[in-house]
Copies of this chain bind each other. A is one copy, B any other.
Amino acid sequence: MSLRIALLIPLTIGFAATAVAQMKPDVVIEYRRSVMTMVGWNFGPMGAMVKGKIPFDAKEFAKHAERIEFLAPQALEGFAKGSDKGAETDAKPDIWTNFDDFKSKLNDLIEQSKTMSEVAKGGDEAKMKEQFKKLGGTCKACHDKYRAEMHH
């Protein structure tokens, strides 16, 4: 392991440090945008079903829920220290000054997405819709505090 990587490890956040420490900020930013895009891609049709904009399809809903459950724990790596700038980003600098709070909000997403996926496997439409609101609440809580106005 090179000295440069070894020195950077303390700046990373408790995962594959050797690999991520080598990433440039713009690459980390592109990654986190990608995680959010994929979460949103799956969240969208669930929301459309809940709002009755498209027919409710429990199987499709559960598929999207499972994908979000799997994606959510992959977001944290996208907020590695040092990635507050380096490319266009909606992530507010407050993320890194309040990292424990940010991480706790991300954990809320992880937990509620697990529950969402479990509930969706049960197939009870009313329960699914109820849990979907809790899931959406975790997105909103974090975005309200830590996401700047969308640029796009």
Residues of A in contact with B (beta carbons under 8 Å apart)? 1, 5, 16, 18-20, 22, 30-31, 33-35, 37-38, 41, 44-45, 48, 54-55, 57, 60, 63-64, 67, 70, 74, 77
Binding site secondary structure of chain A = helix
- State the Cβ distance, A1 to closest chain B Cβ, in Å: 7
Q: What 4 A-B pairs come out closest when comparing CB atoms?
A: A19-B45, A34-B34, A34-B37, A18-B54
Q: Determine if A16 and B74 form an interchain contact, defined as CB atoms under 8 angstroms apart.
A: no
Which partner residue on chain B sits nearest A74 by CB separation? B67
Count the copies.
2
Q: Determine if B55 and A1 form an interchain contact, defined as CB atoms under 8 angstroms apart.
A: yes
- State the Cβ distance, A52 to closest chain B Cβ, in Å: 11
